[in-house]
Amino acid sequence: MKKVRLGIIGATGLVGTIILRILQEQNFPIQDLRLFASANSTDRIIHYASSQLEKDLRVEDLNTQNADTVKNLDIAIFSAGATVSKKWAPVFAQAGVVVIDNSSAWRSDPRIPLVVSEVNPKDVRWALATGGKHIIANPNCTTMAMMPILATLNQHYKLNSIIVSTYQAVSGAGQKGVNELASQAESMLNDGVNLLLKGTAFPMIKPDVFAAPIAFNVLPYAGNFLEDNSGETDEERKLRDESRKILHLAKLKVAGTCVRVPVFTGHSLSVNAVFQNNLTPRDVIEILTKTSGVSLTNRLTSRYFTRAQDMDIATSPASAFPTPLLAVGHDPVYIGRIRQDLSRNDQKGINFFAVCDNLRKGAALNAIELAKIVMKYLS
Ligand code: NAP
C-alpha cells in the first residue's frame, strides 16, 4: 500500500490518543504524520514508534493553519468536536486533503457519506468523485456498535424495526466525562452507608459535565434534549438517522433510549430487532460467526447446538458474556444474550446485547479503516 501523509486533528484527546495507538499497532504505512490540537497543547511532544516511522512529533496549533500549510497532507482524521470540524474540515478539503470526521458535524448532510468500514465501504466514493466534498463522516459510537450486526442480519432477513436501550460510558463525553466519574467516585466511595440509606454521600462533588451525579448512579438520558417536543435527545435521534443512512433503509423504524452509566469505557446496547422474515437465535449465531468485526460471546450458545459438528460454533470464540470491560482495548463488537423475542407470536423478532470499546471500535478504528479505503482510491 502507498505510504500516506496523515494529519490527526485532536491528537491529544481520548480518541486521538487511541488513533495514534492503533496506527502504531498496525504499523500503518505513513510517510509523514502531523498532529494538531488547540493552543493549550502547542509544542507538546508525542513520541511515535512503529516500523514505518519513529519520531518525536510536535503538536501544532490548528488555529494557526490555513489551506497552504496543510495542503501537503493526503488524509486528515478529525476528532476535536463538531465546532472545530465545521470550521476546519472545509479548509482541509478545499486544500485537497480527504477529511475523515469523527464528530457529528457532517453526518446528516446528504452530500457527505456516513460510513462503517465493514458495512457500506463503497459509499466513500461519493466523497471522492468529481464534485464530491472530500469529507467522510464516521458514525456516532453507539450507532457503530450495532451496525455490523444489523447490516448482516438485514441482508438475510430484511430489517423492519429496532428498539434499543443503551448503557453509555463516560468516556463518550471525552476526557472531562472521565475526570468527573473518577473524582466523584473517589470522594463518595468511603460513605457507603449514606449512599445505601440516603442516596447521598460526604463529600458530594457537584455535577458539571453530567446533569446529576454519575458515580454510583444511572442517568436516564445521554446527550442533549432536542427542541422539537419529541422528548428525544440528540443521541437518540442519531441512532435513528444514522442507522437509516448507513444501512440505506430510509424508512427503518428506530426507537432509542440512551442512558449514561458509571463505566469508564465501553458502550453497551440492549437491542430488540424485528425482521420481515423468520429467524431463530441459532440462525443469528450461525451467520454472525462468519461476520467480520463481530465476536460472539454467548454462554448459552451451546443450547442451540447439540450435534458434535456444531460444537466449534457453540464454543467459539469465547464463553464470557459481553461486558464493557471485556471490550476495552479490543477491536470487535461483542454480542451475546441472543434470544427469540417472546413478546411476539411469530419468529420475526430477536433480542441481543452488544458491547464495543467506544473509543476504539466506536471511533478510532473505523476512522483508520476508512483511511485505508481512501488510500486505495488515491493510489
Ligand atoms: P477529548 O478527549 O475532549 O479531546 C478533544 C480534542 O480536541 C483534544 O485533542 C483537544 O485539544 C482538541 N480540541 C478541542 N478544541 C479545539 C480547538 N478549538 N482547536 C483545536 N483542537 C481542539 O474528546 P474525545 O472524546 O477525544 O472526542 C473527540 C471527538 O470525537 C468529538 O467530536 C466526539 O464527538 C468524537 N467521538 C468521540 C467518541 C468517544 O467515545 N469519546 C466516540 C466517537 C466520536 P487540547 O488537548 O489541546 O485541548
Q: Are residues 343 and 230 in the same domain?
A: yes
* CB 74 within 8 Å of CB 378: yes
> Is 267 noted as a catalytic residue in this protein?
yes
Total Cβ atoms within 10 A of residue 130: 4
180 and 282 fall within a common domain: yes
Is 121 in the same domain as 157?
Answer: no
Measured distance CA(89)–CA(78) in Å, rounded: 8
- Same domain, residue pair 282 and 374: no
User: Residues of 309-326 as b/e, b for ≥16 C-beta within 10 angstroms?
Assistant: ebeebbeeeeeeebbbeb
| pTM over 0.85, yes/no | yes
Q: Is any ligand 1 atom within 6 A of the Cβ of residue 223?
A: no
Q: Which domain holds residue 78?
A: 4-138+363-378
Distance 100 CA to ligand 1 centre (A): 14
Indicate the top mutation candidate among 58, 91, 102, 260 to test ligand 1's pocket, ranked by most ligand atoms within 8 A of CB: 102
Residue 162 maps to which CATH number?
Answer: 3.30.360.10
Q: Which atom of ligand 1 is nearest to the CA of 169?
A: 40
254, 259, 237, 256: which is closest to 108 by C-alpha?
237
Are 85 and 148 found together in one domain? no
Query: What residue owns the CA closest to ligand 1's atom 16?
Result: 38
Say yes or no: 224 and 266 in one domain. yes
Same domain, 158 and 131: no
Mark whether 103 and 174 lie in a shared domain: no
Q: Is 141 a catalytic residue?
A: yes
Do 168 and 293 have their domain in common? yes
| 8, 38, 140, 141: residue to mutate for ligand 1 pocket, most atoms within 8 A of CB | 38
SS3 breakdown of the chain: % helix, strand, coil, rounded to 5? 35, 25, 40
Same domain, 104 and 162: no
Predicted pLDDT at 319: 52
Residue nearest to atom 9 of ligand 1 (CA): 10
**CATH number, domain at 71?**
3.40.50.720
Statement to judge: residues 177 and 44 lie in one domain: no
Identify the pLDDT of residue 317: 47
Indicate if 194 and 248 belong to the same structural domain: yes
Which residues of the chain register pLDDT less than 70?
298-319
Q: What is the DSSP letter of 251?
A: T
Domain count, the chain: 2
Question: Of these residues, 134, 141, 258, 356, which one is catalytic?
Answer: 141
Question: Ligand 1: does its nearest atom lie under 6 Å from the Cβ of 10?
Answer: yes
Give per-residue pLDDT as tens, 51-65.
989 999 999 999 999
Per residue in 318-365, pLDDT tens?
Answer: 457 899 998 999 999 999 999 999 999 999 999 999 999 999 999 999
